[in-house]
Amino acid sequence: MTRPIRLEIDLSAIRHNFLFTRQRAQAKRLFAVVKANAYGHGILDTAKALADLADGFALLNIEDAVALREAGIDRPIALLEGPFDAAEAAAMGEYRLCGAVHSLEQMAWLAKGSAARPAEVWLKINSGMNRLGFRPEQAGDALARLRAEPAIRPAAIMTHFATADEAYGVDEQWRDFATLARDSALPVSAANSAALLRHPHTHGDIGRPGIVLYGASPFEDSTGAALGLRPAMTLSADIIAVQQLRNGDAVGYGRRFVADRDMRIGIVACGYADGYPRIAANGTPVAVDGAASGTVGRVSMDMLAVDLSHLPQAGVGSRVELWGPQAPIERVAAAAGTISYELMCAVAARVPRSLRA
């Protein structure tokens, strides 16, 4: 492919970020969260990079779990939403998978399995997120039912925090969950990336680092680099044309940007069809050959524009980092009114990928 756009994945950064998290986590084990194709970084490549470091992996789709097993990944694998039907419940035992159980329907599917190879389950408690899980007052009965089924082995109790990354904190959710966890005598899994960095009393037995593995901060007021993380994903493209603007000239669809002075802009081979956010504001940060600049006008399907007025040396062929070490993904996301997670997951398949070990 000759279109000058690229996505570079730094596997050494992912390893660094895991070890960074390990040093700060009091959890006995860390399951690397590799759902959504490892947040866009490539699930198999990421799992192989962490195979000698992570205590296990956590993901959503059983087909991804099976692919990891068939690729030789032997670490424990947890399905964060459990099985989606009876066939998946049966496959959990076959492929040695553990997983959340958050409903009576899942219990019924799992109960049909073999007592010779019981499925390991993590009892999911709805402590306030109100997505999945048994409410605290239902937890005792749910655990008793699990323990009564020969084909099921309760292996952990889990919950998920709604505001571990915010000032509101986790105390309200943790209060009820901690009591249930103590009474269950099961290993505890509660801490996501934000909790692993800010709420050590929640770390329990199994931490679930996600966004931090990929070098981005879970907190709005910080970048990953400021925390000591290394960005693992760099999206960049080249300038394919240069335009000279006069005062009053507009750029792009909708005349969203009108020059208030003579300007020089570069047209970059990246657009929203590549995963760059169309709603990114004027001035969204980029780095042109390592120098700071910003976007100009509305992002098109295949192109966007950047300001070169202060960069006379830049021109056709100059490399524009759209996010990465020089243009933090958190800042790009903020300019688009979203979060770094979404940008990572949205990079299109048509963008050529390369790996750096």
Q: Compute how many other C-beta atoms are within 10 angstroms of the C-beta atom of residue 220.
A: 11
Contacts of 7 (CB under 8 A, 6+ apart): 233, 234, 235, 347, 351, 352, 353, 354
Catalytic member of 35, 214, 272, 276: 35
Nearest to 284 by CA among 348, 342, 245, 329: 329
301 is in an annotated binding site: yes
Active-site residue identified among 28, 253, 272, 341: 253
Q: Is 214 among the catalytic positions?
A: no
190 DSSP 8-state letter: -
Token readout for 86 is: 């009876």
CA-to-CA separations, 50 to 33, 45, 96, 137, 295, in angstroms, rounded: 11, 9, 19, 38, 36
Q: Which residue has the tokens 């006995």?
A: 28
Q: Reduced to 3 states, what is the DSSP secondary structure of residue 297? A: coil
Told to judge if 253 belongs to the known catalytic residues of this protein, a careful annotator would answer yes
User: CB-side exposure of 130: number of CA atoms within 13 Å?
Assistant: 2
Tell me, what amino acid is at 176? D
Annotated ligand binding at 131? The verdict is: yes
- Tell me the C-alpha distance between 159 and 161, whole Å: 7
- Binding-site positions read 131, 301
What amino acid positions are annotated as catalytic residues? 35, 253
Summarize the annotated binding site for substrate as residue ranges: 131, 301
